[in-house]
Amino acid sequence: MKILIESQYLPSVAYFTLIAHSDEVFIETNENFEKQSYRNRCEIIGPNKIQNLSIPVHHGGRKIPIKELIIDYKQKWSNNHWRAIQSAYGKAPFFDFYGDYFEQEIKADYTTLFKLNSSLLTLCLKLLKLKPSLNELSEYSKIPPVGVIDFRSQIHPKKSLDSLAWFQPKAYHQIFGKDFVPNMSILDLLFCMGPDAEQILYRSSVIIKNN
């Protein structure tokens, strides 16, 4: 399957479920940044249930292509994010195996949001042992290339999981709470399940393949 999807910060399980079923992945690079989306935020489960982690960016209300969007480092977001992740997953079974890799990337001071997201995506794919072909589109188009399924903005904080007809989240053991909370950041799945995370992704969907 070939898919087109936007750049996201430490994307959700649904995002990686798509990638797990894809041979080729096109990342949208020329769209304008959309506020209140997963492009610069993710969700983790902490002691006080779901916690949103959001990266501050410089946009001033203007339309800026995602690839040009600058991260605002005047706000100490990277340290805050890492402390929140440590608090949420420090006692998770696989935190000691993967934590250092994520800390290094989150604190690396990448200039643009797109570069940070891309580096974290590469790290996650490596840890999940997923090897799709990754491509960046050279220009924006409302219509995706021939043979490519458009999933842009389908995984969105303002949309319910019920809108993702192809996503059937497989429950796994989480650190906090008695009830399973689906579709958290991939951090949740990796830190809780480790090498078994890949199989959870394959078992969490009903994918219709394109020709």
Sequence spans of domains, the chain: 2-202
Per-residue pLDDT of the chain (211 residues; tens, 9 = 90+): 999 999 999 999 999 999 999 999 999 999 999 999 999 999 999 887 899 999 999 987 788 999 999 999 999 999 999 999 999 999 999 999 999 999 999 999 999 999 999 999 999 999 999 999 999 988 999 999 999 999 999 999 999 999 999 999 999 999 998 899 999 999 999 999 999 999 999 999 986 555 4
Whole-structure pTM value: 0.96
Helix or strand or coil: residue 85?
helix
**pLDDT value for 105:** 98
How many angstroms separate the CA atoms of 55 and 24, rounded? 28
**pLDDT value for 138:** 84
Q: Are 210 and 83 in contact (CB under 8 A)?
A: no
Q: Are 85 and 12 in contact (CB under 8 A)?
A: no
How many angstroms separate the CA atoms of 113 and 72, rounded? 9
How many angstroms separate the CA atoms of 211 and 207, rounded? 13
Q: Are 160 and 166 in contact (CB under 8 A)?
A: no
Q: Is 97 left (phi over 0), alpha (psi -120 to 50) or beta?
A: alpha
DSSP string, 89-113: HTTSTTHHHHHHHHHHHHTS--SBH
